[in-house]
Amino acid sequence: MADAPDLAPDFNAWSCPLPLRDHPFVVMGHGGGGALSAELVRHLFMPAYGGETLAGLGDSAAVSLGGARLAFSTDSYVVRPLFFPGGSIGDLAVNGTVNDLAMSGAAPAYLSCAFILEEGTEVSTVGRVARAIGEAAERAGVAVVTGDTKVVDSGHGDEVYVNTSGIGLIPEGVDIRPQRARPGDVVIVSGPIGLHGIAILSVREGLEFGVELESDTAPLAGLVQAMLAVTPDLHVLRDPTRGGLAAALNEIAAASGTGVVLEERAVPVPEPVANACAFLGLDPLYVANEGRLVAFVPERHAEPVLEAMRTHPNGPEAAVIGRCVSEHPGMVVARTGLGGTRIVDLPLGEQLPRIC
């Protein structure tokens, strides 16, 4: 805390309420996609960049350029281990950014790819990651068109960090963003949750849960296109990555000022994920996914959209899991299996750091 005095004058000058929660130092939770991340964005990055544009803060930004409506998104990937059941940092780097673009309804088109390599990393490891990126890009139908490589001294990295940014085209008449959730909207999830987080945990901590779980990492742009073919009037799409379904729903509730009621028994949780969570004291609602989306759909379109999702390879187990309501604005409430209710909070950080 000795450094706090240094901090205050620097920031008070532009009335930024720092230090955040009295943390003068960065903690793992600042990268967890929960409340600490949100504070960093709201109280540090947004005042610094001074932009209204960042304030939208969906998974990607919608911007206009040369008459085209574009989605633009960026993510860095620092997952450990680099290769895990069901995928690799390369798959995440492509699918994650492709999905962020798709969550604004865009057709992803081009990716950039920037590596930060640690001195002493095997070149073959970099090659395996690059090849995974190439293959994932081909599957997702996007092209890697520009890149960068930096090398840092041994002890200042962790073999391979990757950043991908992406741009895609938002079709005419599509306006998908967290602010558009409305009471009455039906909340749909595209499939079982928790697989990515538990798969990473199992290999990292050497835990075995009877069945080998695989990450759900997958590109979702095709699924979104199938949903948009039913109606362009989808209100919100979000991929529940860091912080899981709980973080995604809380962000939507907060951005739109509506309430969300979640039917806990309707949320598809695979048995091995449920067992692993019970064993470890985790809540599956907070576990990261990398190939799922949650959609807020006007009631009149919900049934045909659900049907379109279920006939798509990325959504056979899509399910209605809740409703958007005018009660408890900004808050997510789960109806438990026993008929009770509980508040589903925004997590503080991520239960499991370096998940993506």
CB of 86 to a second copy, least distance (A): 20
Q: Is 8 helix (H, G, I), strand (E, B) or coil?
A: helix
Residue 265, interface with a second copy (CB under 8 A)?
A: no
Binding segment (CB under 8 A) for a second copy, from list 16-24, 186-194, 246-254, 319-327:
16-24
Check: CB of residue 1 under 8 Å from CB of residue 24.
Answer: yes
Nearer to a second copy, 68 or 229 (CB): 68
Check: CB of residue 24 under 8 Å from CB of residue 4.
Answer: yes
Indicate which single residue of 42, 83, 114, 317 sits in contact with a second copy (rule: CB under 8 A).
114
Q: Which of residues 120-179 bind a second copy (CB under 8 A)?
A: 120-124, 126-128, 130-131, 133-134, 137-138, 143-153, 155-158, 161, 163, 165, 167-169
CB of 205 to a second copy, least distance (A): 15
Neighbours of 248 (CB within 10 A): 29
Alpha carbon distances (Å) from 164 to 97, 138, 303:
7, 15, 35
Residue 42, interface with a second copy (CB under 8 A)?
A: no
CB of 192 to a second copy, least distance (A): 26
Contact map string, positions 45 to 64, toward a second copy, x by CB under 8 A: x--xxxx-xx-----xx-x-
Check: CB of residue 288 under 8 Å from CB of residue 352.
Answer: yes
CB of 99 to a second copy, least distance (A): 13
Q: Distance between CA atoms of 347 and 341, rounded to whole angstroms?
A: 18
Residue 68, interface with a second copy (CB under 8 A)?
A: yes
Name 70's bridge partners.
63, 169
Indicate which single residue of 34, 35, 70, 287 sits in contact with a second copy (rule: CB under 8 A).
70
Residue 83, interface with a second copy (CB under 8 A)?
A: no
Nearer to a second copy, 52 or 337 (CB): 52
CB of 281 to a second copy, least distance (A): 22
Q: Distance between CA atoms of 227 and 301, rounded to whole angstroms?
A: 10
Indicate which single residue of 1, 12, 15, 23 sits in contact with a second copy (rule: CB under 8 A).
23
Nearer to a second copy, 69 or 292 (CB): 69
Q: Is 68 helix (H, G, I), strand (E, B) or coil?
A: strand
Binding segment (CB under 8 A) for a second copy, from list 30-38, 205-213, 265-273, 318-326:
30-38
Residue 72, interface with a second copy (CB under 8 A)?
A: yes
Nearer to a second copy, 40 or 255 (CB): 40
CB of 2 to a second copy, least distance (A): 11
Nearer to a second copy, 124 or 210 (CB): 124
Q: Torsion over CA of 295, 339, 198 and 189, rounded to 10 degrees?
A: -10
| Beta pairing class for 294-297 and 186-189 | antiparallel
Nearer to a second copy, 13 or 338 (CB): 13
Neighbours of 281 (CB within 10 A): 7
Q: Distance between CA atoms of 99 and 79, rounded to whole angstroms?
A: 17
Phi and psi, residue 166, nearest 5°: -145, 155
Q: Which of residues 181-220 bind a second copy (CB under 8 A)?
A: none
Q: Torsion over CA of 289, 291, 296 and 301, rounded to 10 degrees?
A: -150
CB of 309 to a second copy, least distance (A): 26
Q: What is the DSSP string of 89-104?
A: HHHHHHHHHHHHHHTT
Phi and psi, residue 152, nearest 5°: -115, 155
Check: CB of residue 258 under 8 Å from CB of residue 326.
Answer: yes
CB of 162 to a second copy, least distance (A): 10
Nearer to a second copy, 63 or 207 (CB): 63
